[in-house]
Amino acid sequence: MSTALAEEMIDGEVNQRSWEQPVGDAVWDCAKKYAKAVNTYEFASSLRNRTLSKRRFMGYISAIYPIVVGFNRALIRSLSKVDHVRQSKFVQSLAEQLGEEQWHNQLWRGMLRAHRVDHDALYSDLERYMARFSERDLDQMTAGVIAALTHDINNVSP
């Protein structure tokens, strides 16, 4: 989606700032940058070459599952914040993305089940952990992680 289209959906009219890079292009450029960096890591190489131990793979899918669930939750929450009348095209895009994320969640739960990891217990642990923080705290932590990773992709524990 282009920046102008996003602004049109938000403001109800096209903004004249057409000089900005389309949002989709910016996201794609960022994804390519991070994919290139991640693909150089030993973990990614071991995963591609099928030399990663089962125990390490189980740790990986268990560690990533809360991120998958969290992204899905964020999409659901974002739908309630959008004016469904004035931004109907944007709502439709979010709804389509949510459908894909629901499928993605099922895929991860299937991987966890296949490796005999109790995804419900893992999710319950995540709920208990997140309950310790306010919404504001969670938003600040998310912003901090994004800022740190944007500045330095290797800073994995900001």
25-43 per-position pLDDT tens digit: 777 887 888 888 888 888 8
The stretch 3-16 carries a mean pLDDT of 42
- Residue 49's alpha-carbon distances to 34, 43, 58, in angstroms, are 20, 10, 16
What integer pLDDT is reported at residue 18 of this predicted model?
45
Q: Is 107 inside any structural domain?
A: yes
Q: Is 79 inside any structural domain?
A: yes
Domains identified in the chain, total number: 1
Residue by residue, DSSP assigns 110-153 as: HHHHHTT--HHHHHHHHHHHHTTS-HHHHHHHHHHHHHHHHH-T
Give one word for 72, left, alpha or beta, with left for phi > 0 and alpha for psi -120 to 50.
alpha
Helical segments of 14-87, H only: 23-38, 42-48, 54-79
The stretch 57-77 carries a mean pLDDT of 86
Q: pLDDT category, 124, cuts 50, 70, 90?
A: very high
Q: Is 65 inside any structural domain?
A: yes
Contact 4, 17 (CB under 8 A): yes
The whole domain housing 122 covers: 54-153
Q: Is 49 inside any structural domain?
A: no
Does residue 157 surpass a pLDDT of 80?
Answer: no
Q: Is 25 inside any structural domain?
A: no
Q: Is 3 inside any structural domain?
A: no
Which DSSP category does 6 fall into?
H
Q: pLDDT category, 156, cuts 50, 70, 90?
A: low
Q: Is 80 inside any structural domain?
A: yes
Q: Is 7 inside any structural domain?
A: no
